[in-house]
């Protein structure tokens, strides 16, 4: 499995690069490249995973997602929201505006739309802050992926984004996506503390062993500091803090 090993290495290096560097390099990837890679990765994901067909549930998630995306910093993108038919509690975003919410997450939230909107807004935050492009751009700087982009062959990146087990955001990305998620839900039809309440649930699940939350904990690492920063940001938005 040489390819799989290489992909893991690229992701590890890219994640490290994102974590170590604060500078903006996402301009190395154009928006159309982002969309192209995201579209292909979404096709891979939908080939490998079953989607929930329930029209009412899809309509609800799509309406929620489109409302939040319209409030985002990249409202020009065309966003797609779909539900993966898996019991794992998770949500993922792809470059260019594809967001997948797992049925396991929806079931876990038991109709708490403030929490669901918070998680979806957080994923939109990753797209809006161009975290995918930053990761790809920095990997290019590090000499990885140059061939991929120069040749215009995005297949390697498609493989990376389509592999839901490999995705892992840095703490900085998570912090920024939390802030953007809170910003997009603030003043929306949903309460902006939903994301913070969800992070607390996620944190409470991090102590146990393997659970339906494992994938989400792996891809979106949660810490007490992260929760505190999100709370402080919401307080600031409400005009109650510094």
Q: Residue 100 or 169: which CB sits closer to Zn ion?
A: 169
Stretch of 7-15, 100-108, 168-176, 181-189 contacting Zn ion, by CB under 5 A? 168-176
Q: CB under 5 A: which stretch of 2-10, 56-64, 132-140, 164-172 binds Zn ion?
A: 164-172
Sheet strands side by side (includes 80-84): 80-84, 98-102, 91-94
Question: Total residues contacting Zn ion (rule CB under 5 A)?
Answer: 4
Nearer to Zn ion, 148 or 170 (CB): 170
- Asked if 220 interacts with Zn ion (CB under 5 A), we say yes
| Torsions phi, psi for 66 (to 5 deg) | -65, -40
Q: Is 132 near Zn ion (CB under 5 A)?
A: no
Q: Distance between CA 91 and CA 110 in Å, rounded?
A: 16
For residue 177, state whether it binds Zn ion (rule: CB under 5 A).
yes
CA distance 236 to 154: 40
Considering only residues 81, 157, 169, 190, which one is a binding residue for Zn ion as defined by CB under 5 A? 169
Residue 128 in tokens? 């809006």
Residue nearest to Zn ion (CB): 220
Query: What are φ and ψ of residue 83, in 5° steps?
Result: -115, 125
Shortest Å, Cβ 28 to Zn ion: 22
Does 222 interact with Zn ion (rule: CB under 5 A)? no
Instruction: Choose among 49, 192, 71, 235: nearest CA to 79.
Output: 71
Which residues lie near Zn ion (CB under 5 A)?
A: 169, 174, 177, 220
């Amino acid at each position: 499995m040489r390819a799989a090993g290489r992909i893991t290495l690229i992701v590890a290096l890219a994640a490290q690069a994102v974590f170590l560097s604060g500078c903006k390099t996402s301009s190395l990837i154009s928006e159309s490249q982002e969309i192209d890679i995201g579209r292909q990765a979404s096709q891979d994901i939908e080939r490998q995973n079953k989607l929930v067909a329930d029209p009412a549930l899809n309509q609800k998630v799509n309406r929620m997602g489109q409302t939040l995306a319209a409030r985002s910093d990249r409202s020009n993108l065309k966003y797609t929201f779909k539900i993966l038919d898996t019991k794992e509690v998770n949500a993922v975003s792809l470059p260019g505006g594809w967001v997948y919410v797992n049925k396991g997450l929806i079931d876990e939230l038991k109709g708490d739309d403030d929490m669901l909107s918070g998680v979806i807004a957080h994923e939109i935050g990753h797209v809006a802050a161009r975290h995918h492009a930053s990761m790809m751009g920095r990997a290019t700087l590090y000499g990885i992926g140059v061939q991929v982009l120069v040749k215009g062959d995005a297949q390697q990146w498609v493989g990376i984004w389509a592999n839901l087990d490999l995705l892992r955001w840095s703490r900085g990305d998570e912090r920024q996506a939390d802030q953007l998620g809170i910003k997009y839900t603030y003043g929306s039809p949903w309460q902006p503390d939903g994301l913070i309440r969800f992070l607390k649930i996620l944190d409470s699940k991090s102590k146990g062993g393997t659970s339906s939350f494992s994938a989400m904990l792996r891809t979106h690492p949660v810490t007490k500091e992260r929760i505190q920063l999100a709370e402080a940001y919401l307080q600031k938005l409400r005009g109650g803090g510094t």
